[in-house]
A and B are shown apart, each in its own frame.
Chain A
Amino acid sequence: MATKNLLQAIHEGLAEEMRSDESVMVLGEDVGRAGGVFRVTQGLQEEFGAARVMDTPLAESLIVGSAIGLSVNGMRPVAEIQFADFIPPAFDQIVNEAAKFHYRSNGDWNCPITIRAPYGVVPGGALYHSQSVEAWFCNTPGLKVVAPTFPGDAKAMIKSSIRDPNPVLFLEHKRTYRLIKEEVPDGDHEVPLGEARVHREGADITVVAYGLMLYMALEVAEKLSEEHGIETEVVEPRTLYPLNKEKILASAKKTGKVVVISEANLTGSVSGEIAAIVAREAFEWLDGPVMRLGAPDVPAAAFAKPMMEHFLPSAEKIEEAMLELARY
């Protein structure tokens, strides 16, 4: 067991899977010789060779399309999209081909691919390096969308994703790559896809959040506990599609007050889906309006730092919303 950040944990998960299963391979832009723009795949080409750690042209449709072809021929490819903002050219391959392969072949064919994509706002990221794209994919049956935030979960879930017989979109928040460090178990430890995690128990309000917002919500939760005696239960979905309804509802019923926080554009977001589930299935337990915090409906986080900060739910806004809900 060693302390690792998210990058290191994902690297370790990939390497371990490649060592234990010869069909596991990596492909994407700069993943080979360069070791990936975030160094997730550093050293993998030296260890496993250029055939299993393959540099590709700047063509996302090709990256995912090749992965699909490889997967139905016995490989378990992990395709990297350098930034989630660049995923649209591969949209058709993911949504129409990979996600529907199993269904269209009446269960005769599987499509065991994993697509890694870094997402989320970073300073200077602006239009092409900031977006949260999860909602585009979270209404596509046949596809699984995961977004772990903590290194231990990420290592376990990259393994679960690779081993899953059908396509998984694996989202990594760029700001959490080096922000969160924790002890990560060596070797295998299980985190199945589709299971939410309660990070912090509390009886007063529930925060459902993922990515950087989860990290911030956890810090605000500690602050509210110390300063106001408000105990927040913090739930991380970990898998965004399909959602672990039971765990979210259990917490909603316990506290009766729910706020969902993510940095995605609010309209049509995963937060909206979570809020709808809570409003419908925990109605008789609710003691306040189901609230959401997210980005406004503007195209992307701005390059200018003050505007970027305005775009994101800040710690202050999160605290304000959590306090309002607790006092409601």
Chain B
Amino acid sequence: MAKPVTMPQLGESVTEGTITRWLKAEGDEVEIDEPLAEVDTDKVNAELPSPVAGKIEKFLVSEGSTVDVGTEIALVAAEGDSAAVDAPPRENVADPAPTEEFPASDTEAQPVAGEESPAARTSRSDGNGRGDVEDAETLRLTRSSPVVRRLAEEHGVEIAEIPGTGTGGRVTRKDIEGYIEELEEREEYAPGLQEEREAFAEPEPEIERVPVYEGDRVEDLTGIRRAIANRMSASKREAPHAWTMVEVDVSGLVALREREKTAFVEREGVKLTYLPFIVKAVVESLKENPVLNSVWDGDRIILRKRINVGVAVDLEDALIVPVITDADELNVLGLARKIEDLVRRARARNLGTEDVSGGTFTVNNPGSLGSVVSTPIINHPQAAILSAEAIVKRPVVIEDAIAVRSMMNLEVSFDHRVLDGGAALKFLNAVKSRLEACGPESSIG
């Protein structure tokens, strides 16, 4: 019997995935865990390992299609089950007795005592004995009734998942209404989940189109583009953004890096950039200002204990934010290694779900692209995001004298529901003093 392969859940708030490419053809043999398809989701692009071994009987979803998690995408005939290849993937097609057809010549148009019910009679006369048309009993279980199908579609539930109390275990309208009510009650007690679902919800179907002129190119959204669009819109819609900036004199840090960078790359095999220094200063300052490492939760604020810092990585056509989990446990070297690894894998589009989830604060690094001022959008539902800008030499007044110093702008966008400018600047100044404290003689620890 052919086994269905379903779209797996590639991340906790991922609800759908796009089959970008089948890596096998129909009729191919596949081993357990052998890559079956490339799947593009909101969060990651991944290869889908086959959960079963056998012969691929049929792809149920074409390349480029986006389907919900749990949708059957392929049928694989288990090894040693050659007969299954041409049989319909259905187990209990009843074998209707051909003599039970309701005779047309009989005009007795209503059931009488002792006779079977009209519904039972229909259930047999609908089957044609060849097994390629589902009989009423099977249909009653899988398709139930128009109203049940409509409700199932409206609420995105599978009829087969619902316990039925109707004829032959059929799901009645009351069954599905009760089930949906239960689901909704459960969701009410898990507002975080609800919020994430909303953030990932498909955009409204009503789209006001802009005019398209000759020569314009229309590009469909990739999963990542759509996820970015949804998350950014949700963040701007949800969180009242406030923004503030400080100037940081990083001349000492520049000198330190200049002194250390050659030896560092030779010794550690990793390039020494400014980012690990910035992340380290951020992490230490987050410990002193935990409100920056928090989440807005409807009617309360959750201050996260763990410090997982997301680092924005530009991929030219997209932006992805891999997460340094427990960043407070790493020194500059550890951070440099971790960042190098994440950036490399992000560019190779080889990040796993665990690499992009669980962030509590985000560091944005537009300075690497030459930016000197930016107003980042918070990685909702986190409370704040920090931007580190390009280090540029500028004339600066120091004790009434003009000096040329290496300067960097540091900004924070924060959710004004969670904290105010005072707390944001306390944090920003803490980062600033840590970075300014670095000198050519500092040790890299």
Contacts and interface: CB of A to CB of B under 8 A. Distances in A.
A297 B117 CA distance: 19
Given A284-B146, A328-B167, A293 B110 contact: yes
B203 interface: no
Interface string A270-294: 0000000000000111111101011
B172 A266 contact: no
Contact of B109 (A283, A285, A297, A320): A297
B372 interface: no
A285 B167 contact: no
B109 A296 contact: yes
A327 B110 contact: no
Contacts of A256: 145, 147, 173
Contact of B107 (A296, A313, A328): A296
B117 to A, nearest CB: 5
Interface in B103-124: 107-113, 117-119, 122
Contact of A287 (B107, B112, B113, B173): B173
Counting contact residues on chain A (CB < 8 A from B), the size range is 20 to 34
Contact of B110 (A283, A285, A294, A316): A294
Contacts of A1: none
A177 B152 CA distance: 48
Contacts of B109: 265-267, 294-297
B150 interface: yes
A324 B145 contact: no
A269 B150 CA distance: 30
A271 to B, nearest CB: 10
Contacts of B150: 284-285
Interface string B339-356: 000000000000000000
Interface string A59-71: 0000000000000
Contact of A316 (B113, B147, B167, B172): B113
Nearest to B175: A287
A2 interface: no
Given A284-B150, A287-B145, 5 more contacts: A286-B146, A287-B172, A291-B118, A296-B110, A324-B167
30 contacts: A256-B145, A266-B110, A267-B107, A284-B150, A285-B150, A286-B145, A286-B146, A286-B147, A287-B146, A287-B172, A287-B173, A288-B145, A289-B119, A289-B122, A293-B110, A295-B109, A296-B107, A296-B110, A297-B107, A297-B108, A310-B112, A317-B111, A317-B112, A320-B111, A324-B119, A327-B166, A328-B119, A328-B166, A328-B170, A328-B172
